[in-house]
Structure 1
Amino acid sequence: MTVMNTLALGNQTQKFETKEIQAAKSAFLLHDEVDRIRLLSVMPLNEAVAVLNTCPLALVRELLDTLAESGETVRSRHLALGLGLISSEAEPNGNYLANSVMTHVRQRIGWIVGLALLGIASGLIISHFEDAISQLVLLAIYLPVVAAAGGNAGSQAATLVVRALAMNEIKPKQWLAVMWKEMRIAVVIALALALVIMLRVVMFSDSAVLPGGFDIYDVAMAIGLALTIQVTLSTTLGGLLPLIARKMKLDPAVLVSPVLASIVDISGMAIYFVTINAWLGLM
């Protein structure tokens, strides 16, 4: 009986809230555009979102544009975010084609230039391990393979998480569950990929070109271990970056890909050379 009463009360409350929203919408639409903009600027955010959510999309976009033009840009963005019209407060107003070239440039150029400068670290890592490459030229052949594998695995994870965020399937506060899931996925993918690359090294690399004291199976194992570590970390990071971006009120679509690519490139080289040097005792 208590359960039935609770369900009935919940249904009545939901109906009452629905009636309130419809009444508020009707009253809202009776006003002219000037009064609507004024109301949107002073109404509680959740009430404004509830009312706008029942209005035609074309009207909603027109009201939000007018609200932004009246100087209430922050308020307009909060409403757009609450309505799901944008995925973050950093995302530009309007759609892709409607925004000007310079709008897109301003949104992207900071990250691109900053990360390009950060890419200098990759060159420094290669120069630091130049002796290792000179001792074993085969390492240079498989360095791009490890870097590409990490980038591909991380980008794949990031794309899936960005889509899940956009569809409200996950929230930033669920980062621990996302990390745990991506780590398990990453380990399976990394081990399978490492096995393929190790077989490639053993079967198609001429052991005759190896300097004395090096065994092709040891080299293959070192490359496979580096690849496993790199893919596992890249995939896990790719799953977490969109959540970090959303938590920081940044647009995951703009931030994740370039940041992930730079981190994977730098960390991939470091992981590759450190792992191989430690396994083979090159330095």
Structure 2
Amino acid sequence: MSDIQKEMRKSHKILCKEVERSLFLIYKTQNIFHTGRQLRSINSFSKAISHGIAINSICIEHINTPQEAPLLDHFSIGALTRVLIESCIMTLYISDLKINVAQWDLRRQILFLHDATNRKRFLTALLKTNKSEETVDFIENYQEIKFKIIQTIKKRSKELNINEDKCNELTKGNIVYIDGIRGAAREAGIDINYFEFMQSYLSNHIHSHPVSTMRMGEHNFSFEKASDFQINFCTLCFEACSSIIKDTRKRMKKFTGGIEYDPVGILE
């Protein structure tokens, strides 16, 4: 076994341990009363852990039997790494221990608005091919739902001294994070240069852009015997996943386990 294969196996082992620890933490939150904010963070972290389990499922045969050189699908591992990182950032954004009631309510209303406007977009398209009572219901009530959310965003923005231009931007429905995902990453204490690299690099695997395939010959991509590039790429992904899962698990350990661990408390 080569040195780079050993390094990949080592990083994979660390990732599996972090996923296992996180699963145990999630299981411990079951059947315990939590605030809505805590439940949303648990759901988001569970999504991240699911991605981690999927990554393991993709590579475990290669890890266990490298001498047989089974397929190492680094394409899918790269795509899943990107969405795992974003699931963890969302978890950290929701569970921020430093924000107050008004700040959290503004964050969740912006998430509600993004959810509503996106549902409107894809359900409008669906309605043209498949009319259902639920779809029609949502479309008919959309303007009322949107109006109520926007009024709350304006109210909270005023409380938090957010200027009118910024407030108007927040009410458009295309914002997820108040200061963008980079702002959320920075807030979570993630090295922003490393985040920028991973975000930009791995997005190519999400969208099947040229960077993910243009150098297949140069890097000796193989569906039978993984090249050094493919092995090193997976090591990079495993290390990135392990690091952010660990940071998120530490936050969730402080934030879950009972409503008393949510400084904001229960909101209507």
TM-score normalised by length of structure 2 = 0.30
More helix by share: 1
Computing the radius of gyration from Cα coordinates, the structure with the larger value is: 1
The structure with higher relative contact order (CA 8 Å, sep 6+) is 2
